[in-house]
């Protein structure tokens, strides 16, 4: 019987969207919230996965991102500024939209959670603001 479990995480992070014609072109931050949702067959202990095993993957990643600047790889202006001034930052390959952040997390998380043979689907939902989010689900089988 397929069962869905999930865990919620929160962190603070800043970014900018250099292509944006409105205020999001500027440096700004958000209080992000993410839900990691796994769907699978419970094991002999009646667990899809121990919540601790979800934390073991997610928490180190969020430690890198919390109170950092998330920067897309093509934003050399920001990358140079952040490096020259010793700021905490993390580079991802695409624009730092919530849609791309979800895809980025899914790629990393999919590699990790696919090692558990009973997990069928992975969903990640990221709130950039209190009322705006991006979500995507992938099959791990």
CATH number of the CATH domain containing 35: 3.30.479.10
Specify the pLDDT at position 141.
81
Task: Spell out the per-residue pLDDT of the chain, length 141, in tens.
Answer: 999 999 999 999 999 999 999 999 999 999 999 999 999 999 999 999 999 999 999 999 999 999 999 999 999 999 999 999 999 999 999 999 999 999 999 999 999 999 999 999 999 999 999 999 999 999 998
- pTM of the predicted model, to two decimals? 0.93
Q: What is the DSSP string of 68-90?
A: EEEEETT-HHHHHHHHHTT--EE
Number of domains in the chain: 1
CB 121 within 8 A of CB 38: yes
Q: What b/e sequence results for 29-62 when a residue is b if at least 16 CB atoms lie within 10 Å of its CB, and e otherwise?
A: ebebbbebbbbbeeeeeeebbeeeebeeebeebb
Residues of the domain holding 130: 3-139
Instruction: Say if CB 124 and CB 115 are below 8 A apart.
Output: no
């Amino acid at each position: 019987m397929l069962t869905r479990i999930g865990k919620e995480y929160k962190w603070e992070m800043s970014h900018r969207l250099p292509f944006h014609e409105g205020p999001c072109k500027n440096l700004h931050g958000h209080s992000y919230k993410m839900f990691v949702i796994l769907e699978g067959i419970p094991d002999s202990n009646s667990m899809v996965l121990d919540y601790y095993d979800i934390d073991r993957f997610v928490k180190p990643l969020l430690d890198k991102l919390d109170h950092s600047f998330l920067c897309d790889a093509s934003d050399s202006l920001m990358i140079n500024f952040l490096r020259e001034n010793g700021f905490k930052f993390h580079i991802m390959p695409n624009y730092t939209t919530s849609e791309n952040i979800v895809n980025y997390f899914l790629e990393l998380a999919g590699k990790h959670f696919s090692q558990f043979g009973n997990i069928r689907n992975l969903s990640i939902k990221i709130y950039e603001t209190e009322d705006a989010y991006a979500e995507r689900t992938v099959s791990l089988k």
